[in-house]
Amino acid sequence: MPELAFDCVIRGGRVATAVDDFVADVAIKDGVIAAIGRNLGQGGVELDAKDRLVLPGGVDAHAHVEQLSAAGIVNSDTFESATVSAAHGGTTTVICFAAQHRGMNLQTVVGDYLALAKKGAVIDYTFHMIIADPTEVTLKEHVPALVLQGHSTLKVFMTYDLLNVGDEKLLDILLAARHTKALVCVHAENHGMVSWMGKRLVEKGYTAPKYHTISHPRGCEAEAFNRLIAFAELIDQPIMIFHVSTAEGVAAIRQARGRGLKVFAETCPQYLFMTAKDLDKPGVEGAKWMCSPPPRTEADQEAIWQGLALGDLQVISSDHAPYAFDATGKLMAGDHPTFKQIANGLPGIEARLPLLFDAMVSKGRLGLHKFVEVTATAPAKIYNLHPRKGSIAVGADADIAIWDAKRQVMLADNLMHDGARYTPYAGRTVTGWPSTVLRRGEVIVREGELTAKPGSGTWLPRAGGAPAAPLGRLTADVDPGCNFGAKLI
């Protein structure tokens, strides 16, 4: 009996990437895409994709998984539950966090998270390293060693009492990243404004979850963006600004990119489909919609959509941060907490792609190619996972989601597979759903049934690559040719 030409062939689907759209077969051999064409040879597994869309598996570049918070809470997902949830939603690669807290050894932290992921993940994964204790040992010994091992992004906070690194240490981190050719990702809000507003609200008795939205005044975002951009320009270090939520934030990024600076930016579904009004619920019910930064207004949603259309924002990630609505998560401080005592974060790793497919493809906002770009191709490129991840091309990993573009699904708490046990999008009906999902050529979800084993996902080591490379455009303050010969960078 002749040997089969391929391990798997996806037949007759409408294949779409960030730039192309055509009907073809996709053939897979040894986990990678071996051929794209018509009437390809036989596969050991044959998948009929006629009248279906064949798209790259999603790349979710911002998810908090089995992560210890600064408040000492581990979120409600394990690597198994989070990645099972991701797979059901069409995501085949996730970038999550190895979270250092003060007093922790960064190398130990990264090793611990790798061990957890290796045990449970069913999709492929890599890490951003959260730097909360930027000691000399962390920045001069641990960061260089870990970047060489394949951990090429650093995450820092400009707010939160126990995570905020402060202006001077932020500059140190940017310089350490420049020396090691790593990318720096930043949660950028003005800490003083957030802290001051939160204290005054609580002191005056405004403690319900809805007041969380104004404890992060909208001006705190653009102020921090502009300060961060000035720091990055001084050091000549590329940055990624996380979870953009305001029109003013979009404008700050647009101005920086217009000056040629290497500033990347993401937003999340909660800033496109939710507003501050969603937190205005009886009692503490609004806690389910609490995240930081908070959802804003319809006008901000429109500004963010425009930023995506123009390329000012390149990525839509989930910022999946699940906490159950009980004493293990949102209500750890009791049944009547103030908004300051409620864990911030929303589940969203599974709903991300269906929500965006419905808006962008089914309803026609920005279209199919842009959907693929912002959910798969762009994050793969910015985080140096492309061409292995993020597109359908010969030689790429066969990470593929076959979509039923006509299927209507009402999102519900019991439909999701993560550990939060609720979705903030319950009751919303979406059109378009991933019916079959493949990870490196293996079917891991078929019509809602998981077929992957825990631990079958693979760690993806990566260098910073071209996105993390400095511009080579020093400001006069740090250019020895302009600052009397002082070598500062």
Tokens of residue 137, six digits: 């040992």
What residues in the chain have per-residue pLDDT under 50?
1
d(Cα 389, Cα 369) in Å, to the nearest integer? 16
DSSP percent split of the chain into helix, strand, coil, nearest 5? 35, 25, 45
Tokens of residue 274, six digits: 């939710």
- Is the CB of residue 314 less than 8 Å from the CB of residue 382? yes
d(Cα 400, Cα 376) in Å, to the nearest integer? 11
Q: Where are the beta strands (DSSP E) in 158-255?
A: 183-187, 239-241
Residue 11, beta-bridge partner list = 48
pLDDT in tens, 240-256: 999 999 999 999 999 99
434 backbone dihedrals φ, ψ, rounded to 5°: -75, 115
- Is the CB of residue 473 less than 8 Å from the CB of residue 129? no
Residues 6+ apart with CB under 8 A from 330: 284, 287, 288, 290, 323, 324, 342, 343
pLDDT value, residue 1: 43
Written as one string, the DSSP assignment of 426-444 is TT-EEEEEEEEEEETTEEE
Distances in Å between the alpha carbon of 55 and those of 35, 132, 369?
Answer: 15, 37, 10
- Dihedral of the alpha carbons of 322, 324, 329, 333, in degrees to the nearest 10: 140
Rounded to a whole number of angstroms, the distance between the first and last alpha carbons of the chain is 65
Count of alpha carbons within 13 angstroms of residue 136, beta-carbon side: 0
Residue with tokens 């597979």: 417
- Is the CB of residue 267 less than 8 Å from the CB of residue 327? no
Specify the pTM.
0.97
pLDDT value, residue 3: 75
* Residue-range domains of the chain with CATH: 58-379+462-468 (3.20.20.140)
Report the candidate in 20, 54, 159 with the shortest Cα–Cα distance to residue 437: 54
